[in-house]
């Protein structure tokens, strides 16, 4: 598929979503008002109970300004937080000053700012004929990306509205909202990243867009800070349990549509397919793209695509509205999806993936995703996952620079193989790799190898890369890689990466990690660490001396990056599937 075709596909998708979003925003505002009414009623009940017990005056006696100031002090942008919430509070005539009410208003402020910014990008495209085609394409792509950010803020509103006790939301609710607001920030960063790719000669445009995006990024960050620093710390008595958990302790989404059974059978049986793809015509379709078109939208039931042995030269996207899709093949060396889209030939990194998974609950098994563009074509993605609760089991990801784009949300990889050169595992998902083989390959002359490039940009994002119990080899096709090899480099100011319980090959540069910009020490706000690794490359006596690098993590620090600590596996992975380890035991 050409770059032009891809952009056309993105624009067609956006046209559909733009019509739907006008209705969605109206619904979202209604939901916001509904939540406010519900919370106000709950607060009223609590006040009446307090009065009947002659308890001390409640916090409602605190002035509005003081309440807003107290909530906004936990954010990175207290001034914009206070002004945006105060303005909305006045317009809604809300009398309550509780953190839950103010949080909902902060979400509404974020949605309003994002919608306004989306209109700004469209205006730039329509009104300025001086931009070259690449810059215009980057702006169009940016507009589409921003609508994804709006989706995630709206999802957070709805998730909070579903909460039975808004004065003390469950751990599962907090995790979902933090994940989706983290993703909303990531999507806004992705917009800027795309402009920087294609507007390198037009820094003015990038800065103009960044300035116009200031309110939306700050307001989204404010909401994330409030849910992280305040709502998650509220101590009201309630029986905490997993989201709609059943008597057996398994979350309800795993009971739906046989998901629980499907995960249990990954080791022994393959699920019965809804459709089969076969190059020889023996299935329902001969291409993966045809099969994707048959997937029902927003289905609560799992849709299974079996892809028979063969090399399928195409690109495919599991779109945002395609939920609970499973795709499996005949084995990593037998079922291969391959193409060669790349940045040098004018395809943005964000849409260069041979396969792109955006819909929630995506699962892939027993297949290879490959980008054959080659090292001279620079960024060329084999797989991008933006799918929340995505699982990859016995899959291979093969390319050079930017092989695996772990873009956003919660992801898990088990028994996989990843190979590449520069930043070949990158992005801002909350992601755990277990029992995987991570294999650098020879880059271009004078290039170095960085295995990871993590891009956390806000300290309250619950994101990071954890590589646990993996084999980081320094041979490719039985030949030693000669280029300098590093565990990773910090892409953004709060980059977070941990390597634990892994075997590290002998040719790793003894410094272990490398700066994003050579000889410029990364900020102390990054978090890079190692824990109980083995192999000749695990020796730490010559590691970097950055303030943000933790040479030997404590057990407590390391536990935050396990399947349970980083991606809350007990909420969406079945504990008896025997496909993963929850904790530090490997």
Name the residues annotated as catalytic: 423
Q: Is the dihedral of CA 423, 427, 430, 434 positive or negative?
A: negative
DSSP track, 341-359:
--TTTT--GGG--SEEE-S
- Nearest-10 crossing angle of helices 78-92, 214-229: 90
Dist CA 118 CA 12 (whole Å): 16
Cross-strand bridge partners of residue 392? 364, 413
Dist CA 301 CA 324 (whole Å): 7
Residue at token pair 């920087």:
196
Residue at token pair 């690794």:
533
Look at residues 227, 234, 228, 103 and name the one whose alpha carbon lies nearest to residue 168.
Answer: 234
Name residues whose C-beta falls within 8 Å of residue 440's C-beta, 6 or more positions apart in sequence. Answer: 419, 420, 421, 424, 449, 451, 473, 474, 476, 481, 483, 485
Dist CA 497 CA 196 (whole Å): 24
- Residue 549 near residue 528 (C-beta atoms within 8 A): yes
Alpha helices in 248-349 (DSSP H): 252-255, 259-264, 288-293
State the greatest distance between any 2 C-alpha atoms of the chain, in Å, as a whole number. 79
Look at residues 275, 324, 316 and name the one whose alpha carbon lies nearest to residue 298.
Answer: 324
Q: How many CB atoms lie within 10 A of CB 334?
A: 15
Look at residues 253, 300, 28, 323 and name the one whose alpha carbon lies nearest to residue 158.
Answer: 28
Q: What are 177's two structure tokens?
A: 């909202």
Dist CA 385 CA 404 (whole Å): 8
- Residue 414 near residue 579 (C-beta atoms within 8 A): yes
């Amino acid at each position: 598929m050409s770059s032009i075709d891809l952009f056309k596909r993105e624009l067609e998708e956006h046209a559909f979503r733009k019509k739907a979003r006008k209705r969605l925003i109206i619904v979202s505002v209604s939901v916001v008002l509904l939540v406010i009414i519900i919370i106000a009623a709950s607060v009223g009940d609590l006040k009446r109970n307090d009065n009947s017990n002659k308890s001390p005056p409640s916090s409602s006696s605190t002035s509005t300004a003081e309440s807003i100031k107290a909530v906004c002090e936990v954010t990175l942008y207290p001034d914009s937080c206070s002004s945006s919430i105060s303005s909305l509070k006045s317009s809604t005539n809300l009398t309550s000053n509780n953190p839950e009410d103010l949080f909902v208003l902060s979400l509404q402020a974020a949605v309003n700012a994002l919608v306004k910014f989306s209109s700004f990008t469209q205006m730039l495209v329509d009104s300025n004929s001086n931009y070259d085609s690449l810059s215009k394409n980057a702006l169009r792509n940016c507009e589409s990306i921003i609508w994804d950010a709006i989706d995630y803020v709206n999802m957070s509103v709805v998730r909070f509205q579903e909460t039975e006790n808004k004065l003390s939301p469950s751990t599962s609710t907090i995790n979902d909202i933090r994940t989706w607001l983290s993703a909303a920030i990531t999507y806004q960063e992705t917009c800027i990243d795309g402009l920087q790719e294609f507007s390198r000669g037009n820094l003015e445009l990038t800065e103009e867009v960044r300035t116009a995006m200031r309110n939306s990024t700050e307001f989204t960050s404010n909401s994330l800070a409030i849910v992280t620093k305040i709502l998650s710390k509220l101590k009201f008595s309630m029986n905490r349990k997993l989201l709609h958990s059943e008597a057996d302790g398994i979350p309800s989404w795993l009971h739906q549509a046989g998901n629980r059974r499907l995960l249990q059978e990954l080791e022994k049986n393959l699920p019965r397919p809804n459709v089969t793809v076969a190059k020889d015509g023996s299935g329902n379709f001969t291409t993966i793209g045809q099969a994707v078109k048959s997937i029902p939208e927003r289905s609560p039931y799992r849709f299974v695509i079996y892809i028979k042995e063969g090399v399928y030269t195409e690109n495919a996207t599991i779109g945002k509205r395609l939920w609970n899709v499973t795709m499996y093949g005949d084995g990593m060396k037998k079922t291969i999806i391959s193409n060669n889209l790349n940045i040098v030939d004018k395809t943005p990194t964000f849409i260069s993936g041979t396969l792109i998974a955006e819909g929630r609950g995506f699962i892939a098994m027993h297949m290879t995703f490959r980008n054959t563009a080659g090292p001279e074509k620079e960024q060329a993605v084999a797989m991008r996952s933006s799918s929340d609760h995505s699982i990859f089991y016995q899959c291979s990801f093969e390319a050079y620079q930017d092989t695996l784009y772990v873009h956003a949300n919660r992801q898990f990889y088990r028994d996989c193989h990843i190979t590449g050169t520069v930043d070949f595992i990158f992005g801002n998902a909350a992601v755990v790799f277990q029992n995987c083989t991570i294999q650098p390959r020879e880059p271009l002359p004078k290039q170095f190898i960085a295995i990871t490039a993590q891009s956390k940009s806000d300290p309250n994002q619950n994101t990071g890369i954890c590589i646990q119990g993996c084999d980081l080899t320094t041979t490719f096709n039985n030949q030693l890689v000669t280029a300098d090899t590093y565990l990773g480099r910090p892409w953004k100011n709060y980059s977070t990466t941990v390597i634990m319980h892994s075997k590290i090959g002998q040719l790793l540069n003894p410094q272990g990690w490398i700066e994003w910009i050579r000889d410029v020490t990364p900020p102390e706000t990054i978090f890079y660490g190692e824990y109980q690794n083995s192999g000749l490359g695990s020796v730490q006596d010559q590691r970097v001396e950055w303030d943000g690098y933790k040479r030997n993590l404590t057990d407590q620090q390391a536990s935050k990056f396990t399947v349970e600590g980083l991606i809350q596996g007990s909420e969406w992975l079945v504990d008896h599937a025997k496909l993963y380890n929850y904790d530090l035991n490997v």
